[in-house]
Amino acid sequence: MIIIMEKNATAENIQAVINILNEHGFRAILHEGDVHTVIDALGDKTTLSQSRLEAMDGVNQVKLIRQPYRMASRDRKEEDTVIEFSNGVKIGGANRPVFMIGPCSVEDDYDGLLQVAQAAKEMGCQFLRGGAFKPRTSPYDFDGLGEQALKYLAQAREATGLLVVTELMDVVDLDLVCNYADVIQIGARNMQNFRLLKAVGKCKKPVILKRGPAATIQEFLLAAEHIMYNGNEQVILCERGVKSFDSAFTRNLLDISAVPVIKKHSHLPIIVDPSHGTGQRYLIEPMAKAGIIVGADGIMVEVHHNPAKALSDGKQSLSIPQFKEVFAKLNNLIDTLPLEKGKTNSFTE
């Protein structure tokens, strides 16, 4: 539930509400605004009646949140969450969609990675993504270079200024990944790895949470709730496709409708990954365009300097020339869309 305090509520009034919430096993989160103080109460609402809280001095209104994802809900926070980085890049709200590009796996070829990073910089992208620890279906497939890959990503960041996104697979690697990455990615296979979600919830880095291949939207938002409940509200959702009965032509079914659905029910930013969402290079452009049209806050695409020799996901990766062609079209599309309040035609303000 949400408790909205009166404008003239005293510190004693506020503390009294927090005390009774704590007595009944709630976790109280205080938000002090310019006009009102708001208290988020997370817990079993059957243990404390709404009327009892409403009768307390200084309480203006008590709102019950029906969605199980309380912190991620629009009921709790009406305005969009905007995640801002130290270099001025912003994700969410009325800001221009961001681009995250790079190889599925960082290979032992720094020059190739740098070529991709430089092309990304040239096309106005803000993020370089690449896997250091890769979850693979087969134990015989390349599963990443580990820390060496993180070092390559950090070198590319130094050379280009791009922010680094990389996947975390195990709690034991959290400190290592945090030392190198600007954004931590939780992959689809780990969307409901609750121990991992709890761990990234206690760190200070923004987190990209990918939708699981068989997850409902509610399960997706509840996974985000685990991260937020543990203290980290810098969550970026990523729609990357779900399993369907038709696998003859696409790897997954990219659920474009998830973007406006999540925009309606949650304040969190959401990006789209058409590479994993389709598994087909030729589908990246149309599905990226679709993501932009329905309001995605960013696009994540796999790009490799030589897809034919990529150690993972070459079939769904763009070559550098293909990437430049596609992203020129995406930028042109964004420029033609009606600007919403606060949105600019540049990637940084």
pLDDT in tens, 298-326: 999 999 999 999 999 899 999 999 999 99
AA letter at 112: G
Q: Is the pLDDT of residue 344 over 80?
A: no
| Interval 162-176 mean pLDDT | 97
Task: State the pLDDT at residue 105.
Answer: 95
Reference 104, options 315, 290, 333; nearest CA is 315
Cβ atoms of 54 and 62 within 8 Å: the answer is yes
Task: State the pLDDT at residue 71.
Answer: 92
To 5 degrees, how large is the angle CA 334–CA 338–CA 342? 90
190: CB partners within 8 A, 6+ apart: 135, 169, 196
DSSP secondary structure of 36-68: -EEEEEES-GGGS-HHHHHTSTTEEEEE---SS
Question: How does residue 343 score in pLDDT terms, banded at 50, 70 and 90?
Answer: very low
Quote the mean pLDDT of the chain: 93
Q: Is the pLDDT of residue 342 over 50?
A: no
Structure tokens that stand for 135 in this block: 């979850």
Question: How does residue 345 score in pLDDT terms, banded at 50, 70 and 90?
Answer: very low
Of 342 and 124, more confident: 124
Task: List residues bridging with 318 in a β-sheet.
Answer: 303
Q: Is the pLDDT of residue 347 over 50?
A: no
Cβ atoms of 182 and 160 within 8 Å: the answer is no
pLDDT in tens, 106-150: 999 999 999 999 999 999 999 999 999 977 778 878 888 999 999
Q: Please tell me the distance from the alpha carbon of residue 219 to that of residue 200, in angstroms, as a whole number.
A: 18
Reference 191, options 157, 217, 229; nearest CA is 217
Going from the C-alpha of 170 to that of each of 74, 173, 196, 338, the distances in angstroms are 31, 6, 7, 42
Whose tokens are 């890769």? That residue is: 134
Window from 38-52, 71-85, 234-248 with minimum mean pLDDT: 38-52
Task: State the pLDDT at residue 349.
Answer: 38
Task: State the pLDDT at residue 339.
Answer: 58
| Interval 236-264 mean pLDDT | 93
Cβ atoms of 209 and 69 within 8 Å: the answer is no
Q: Please tell me the distance from the alpha carbon of residue 98 to that of residue 146, in angstroms, as a whole number.
A: 26
Cβ atoms of 173 and 133 within 8 Å: the answer is yes
List the domains of the chain with CATH numbers.
2-63 (3.30.70.1140), 83-336 (3.20.20.70)
pLDDT in tens, 88-102: 999 999 999 999 999
Residue 226, SS3? helix
Reference 160, options 121, 131, 129; nearest CA is 121
